[in-house]
């Protein structure tokens, strides 16, 4: 699914109106209908609904929603800035329609504190949408501050008021803090970054029937990884195949005390479809690896840490988990990196070693996949002001070095040398535990060995890893989720794609 700027969304809306020969009011009605259905689905037992409307089209959505919910027997109360009714056209039409309904009370923002709002009531923010272009101040600002203190179920229409949709919002802005954001047709960048996403709560995207023809022709370099993309990437296994057809994955990982990282990466590679798996690890891990992952072949790479890397034939390598940064390992890893020609997966301590020896970056084979978490990224490429800027820096580095950068986060980004950004929306905070990244390295190496392109291996692998995490969290809880549980769910994810 493409990710668009607010400017592009507006353009798509306008062109949809043109080619479908509808009035813009129809789109607002579609948006309100979709909102109404979602609210009925999620909160049908909720009694009172307090809707706060601005003067723009976001406010218009709020007025139209109020009318529709009223006809569904909800007790609706409307709030707007009665001292400054300066509506855009469609908001005005919907406001006037609403005034005809006697049972809906229309109140000024300043009256909010006169009402008793209960924790089971709905507070709906239709103040500002993607048209916000400055800080919320004055009466609206005071209102948002009051709403943020109220204990109720808080829903933002399209985007929490106060957030810019395409860029970082300054720290001093007043922003509505939603439990859920119900947004129209597209994800917005603001939902995907930690600084801004924290205001959005759960995200629900509603189809309001914008023209697919127009959406397809509108260019974007930013994408959400969705099921359609994954199904287009997934390669079905040929019945007449043998282990030679699915590549030789080589996991280079582990040191004394960190053999677990090698085990996790190895097991994840085994579960992700590779034909043969080799693990290069120090001798101290031999017994552990052979007993915990007997399908993999052990290659001795040293005594207590890796000092020597000898690859089997046709190796596709993932290097880094639990290697440690012993001087001998550092030398060995640098020497290894210098001499590779095929794309690699590079993670964890291999990234830390590169950070200390940045000149090696230029020797890394083109289209290798680097998987830094935010700290590792910082060590590699420097500090940025915020996570939006981090994406920009990663884009620059991916292009310069011809590498795929997987920026690991709640919404991990896959950044390509061609300057595309793919945002992942699977995964959950249960995965925020030591060892989850090792599992990802195993998955990515396995997919790369099966001849997925680097870009597709990264997109597919990151999505699969997160989806496995979601399946695992469904079963138990985020608190008790372990990286091994991710590995156990990889099979279920493949089944999900095949079905
Ligand atoms: N364009 C369309 O056809 C549709 C738009 N929809 C809704 O329309 C919204 C966008 O509507 P608008 O473009 O009217 O934008 P908004 O409703 O976000 O309102 C923006 C208006 O407020 C002003 N403004 C911006 N920031 C302000 C601030 N901090 N303080 C005071 N005034 C401020 C702007 O100058 C503009 O007039 C979407 O988010 C969505 O909710 C939906 O109804 C679907 C259809
Ligand atoms: N809150 C979260 N939501 C979604 N995914 C997460 C979250 N926290 C961590 N993850 C995922 O778990 C993995 C953690 O990787 P990393 O930090 O390298 O862990 P480790 O150091 O244990 O290998 C990444 O793929 C990351 O995207
Ligand atoms: K809003």
What does the pLDDT look like over 246-255, one tens digit per residue?
A: 999 999 999 9
Cβ–ligand 1 contact at 443 (below 6 Å): no
pLDDT digits (tens, 9 = 90+) for 357-409: 999 999 999 999 999 999 999 999 999 999 999 999 999 999 999 999 999 99
**Distance set, CA 233 to CA 126, 384, 423, 463 (Å):** 38, 32, 15, 11
In the chain, % of residues over pLDDT 70? 100
Cβ–ligand 1 contact at 92 (below 6 Å): no
Q: What CATH number has the domain spanning 6-220?
A: 3.40.50.10260
Residue among 20, 53, 58, 136 to mutate when testing ligand 1 (max atoms within 8 A of CB): 58
ipTM above 0.85 for this complex:
yes
Whether the CB-CB separation of 57 and 129 falls below 8 Å is answered with yes
pLDDT digits (tens, 9 = 90+) for 225-242: 999 999 999 999 999 988
Q: For 168, which DSSP code?
A: P
Q: What is the mean pLDDT of the segment spanning 193-219?
A: 97
The pLDDT value given to residue 47: 85
Q: What is the mean pLDDT of the segment spanning 315-332?
A: 97
pLDDT digits (tens, 9 = 90+) for 335-365: 999 999 999 999 999 999 999 999 999 999 9
E strands within 322-456?
A: 345-346, 369-370, 404-407, 413-415, 421-423
Residue 407 has φ and ψ, to the nearest 5°, of: -85, 100
Residue 243: pLDDT band with limits 50, 70, 90: confident
Does the pLDDT value for residue 259 go beyond 90?
yes
Q: Is 19 exposed, middle or buried (0-12, 13-18, 19+ CB in 10 A)?
A: exposed
101 Cα to the center of ligand 1, angstroms: 24
What is the distance between the alpha carbons of residues 163 and 129, in angstroms, rounded to a whole number?
8
**Distance set, CA 72 to CA 49, 156, 302 (Å):** 12, 20, 71
113 Cα to the center of ligand 1, angstroms: 25
The pLDDT value given to residue 244: 84
The pLDDT value given to residue 443: 98
* 81 alpha carbon, closest ligand: 1
Q: For 430, which DSSP code?
A: G
**Distance set, CA 265 to CA 26, 323, 353, 432, 447 (Å):** 52, 12, 19, 16, 13
Question: What are the residue boundaries of the structural domains of the chain, listed by start?
Answer: 6-220, 229-498
Residue 449: pLDDT band with limits 50, 70, 90: very high
Does the pLDDT value for residue 280 go beyond 90?
yes
The pLDDT value given to residue 10: 97
Whether the CB-CB separation of 137 and 162 falls below 8 Å is answered with no
Which residue carries 């000024």 as its tokens? 108
- Host H or E run for residue 280: strand 276-281
Q: Is 384 exposed, middle or buried (0-12, 13-18, 19+ CB in 10 A)?
A: middle
> Measured from the CA of 411, which atom of ligand 2 is nearest?
4
What is the distance between the alpha carbons of residues 63 and 232, in angstroms, rounded to a whole number?
41
Q: Is 292 exposed, middle or buried (0-12, 13-18, 19+ CB in 10 A)?
A: middle
Residue 20: pLDDT band with limits 50, 70, 90: very high
* 478 alpha carbon, closest ligand: 2
Q: Is 174 exposed, middle or buried (0-12, 13-18, 19+ CB in 10 A)?
A: middle
Q: What CATH number has the domain spanning 229-498?
A: 3.40.1190.20
Residue 432: pLDDT band with limits 50, 70, 90: very high
361 Cα to the center of ligand 2, angstroms: 24
Exposure string over 412-424, b if 16+ CB within 10 A, otherwise e: bbbbbbeebbbbb
162 Cα to the center of ligand 3, angstroms: 8
Residue among 253, 351, 373 to mutate when testing ligand 2 (max atoms within 8 A of CB): 373
- Six-digit token string for 481: 């989720």
Give nearest CA residue, ligand 1 atom 20: 131
The pLDDT value given to residue 245: 86
Question: Residues annotated as binding site for AMP?
Answer: 408-412, 437
200 Cα to the center of ligand 3, angstroms: 10
What is the distance between the alpha carbons of residues 271 and 485, in angstroms, rounded to a whole number?
12
Q: What is the mean pLDDT of the segment spanning 125-146?
A: 98
Residue 304: pLDDT band with limits 50, 70, 90: very high
The pLDDT value given to residue 194: 98
Considering only CA atoms, which of 488, 431, 420 is closest in space to residue 458? 420
Residue 82: pLDDT band with limits 50, 70, 90: very high
The residues, any chain, with a CB within 8 Å of residue 125's CB and separated by 6 or more, are 52, 144, 147, 154, 155, 156, 157, 160, 161, 176, 178
Q: What is the mean pLDDT of the segment spanning 127-143?
A: 98
């Amino acid at each position: 699914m493409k990710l668009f700027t607010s400017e592009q969304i507006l353009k798509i809306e306008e062109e949809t109106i043109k080619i479908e020969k509808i009035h813009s009011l129809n789109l607002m009605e579609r948006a309100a209908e979709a909102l109404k259905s979602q609210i009925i689905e999620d909160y049908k037992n909720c009694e009172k609904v307090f809707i706060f409307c601005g003067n723009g089209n976001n406010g218009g959505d709020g007025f139209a929603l109020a009318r529709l919910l009223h006809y569904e027997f909800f007790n609706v109360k409307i709030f707007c800035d009665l001292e400054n009714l300066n509506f855009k056209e469609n908001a005005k039409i919907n406001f006037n329609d609403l005034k005809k309904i006697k049972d809906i009370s229309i109140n000024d923002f300043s009256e909010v504190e006169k009402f008793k709002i209960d924790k089971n009531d709905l507070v709906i923010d239709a103040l500002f949408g993607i048209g916000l272009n400055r800080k919320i101040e004055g009466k609206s600002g005071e209102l948002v501050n009051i709403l943020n203190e109220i204990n109720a179920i808080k829903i933002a229409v399209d985007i929490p008021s106060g957030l810019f949709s395409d860029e970082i919002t300054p720290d001093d802005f007043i922003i509505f803090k939603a439990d859920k954001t119900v947004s129209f047709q597209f994800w917005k960048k603001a939902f995907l970054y930690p600084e801004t996403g924290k205001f959005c709560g759960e995200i629900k995207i509603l189809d309001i029937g914008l023209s697919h023809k127009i959406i397809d022709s509108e260019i974007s370099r930013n994408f959400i990884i969705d099921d359609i993309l994954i199904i287009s990437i997934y390669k079905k296994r040929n019945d007449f195949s043998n282990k030679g057809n699915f590549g030789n994955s080589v996991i280079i990982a582990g040191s004394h005390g960190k053999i677990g990282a090698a085990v996790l990466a190895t097991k994840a590679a085994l579960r992700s479809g590779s034909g043969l798996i080799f693990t290069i690890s120090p001798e101290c891990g031999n017994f552990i690896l052979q007993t915990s992952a007997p399908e993999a072949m052990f290659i001795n790479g040293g005594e207590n840490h890796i000092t020597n890397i000898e690859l089997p034939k046709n190796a596709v390598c993932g290097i880094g988990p639990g290697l440690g940064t012993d001087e001998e390992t550092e030398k060995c890893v640098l020497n290894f990196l210098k001499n590779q020609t095929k794309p690699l997966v590079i993670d964890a301590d291999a990234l830390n070693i590169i950070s200390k020896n940045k000149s090696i970056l230029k020797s890394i084979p083109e289209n290798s996949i680097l998987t830094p978490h935010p700290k590792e990224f910082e060590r590699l490429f420097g500090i940025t002001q915020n996570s939006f800027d981090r994406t920009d820096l990663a884009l620059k580095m991916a292009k310069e070095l011809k590498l795929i950068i997987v920026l690991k986060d709640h919404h991990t980004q896959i950044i390509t040398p061609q300057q595309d950004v793919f945002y992942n929306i699977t995964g959950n905070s249960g995965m925020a535990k030591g060892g989850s990244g090792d599992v990802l390295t195993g998955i990515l190496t396995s997919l790369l060995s099966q001849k997925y392109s680097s870009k597709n291996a990264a997109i597919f692998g990151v999505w699969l890893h997160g989806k496995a995490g979601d399946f695992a969290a469904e079963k138990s809880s985020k608190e008790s989720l372990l990286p091994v549980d991710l590995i156990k769910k990889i099979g279920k994810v493949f089944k999900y794609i095949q079905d």
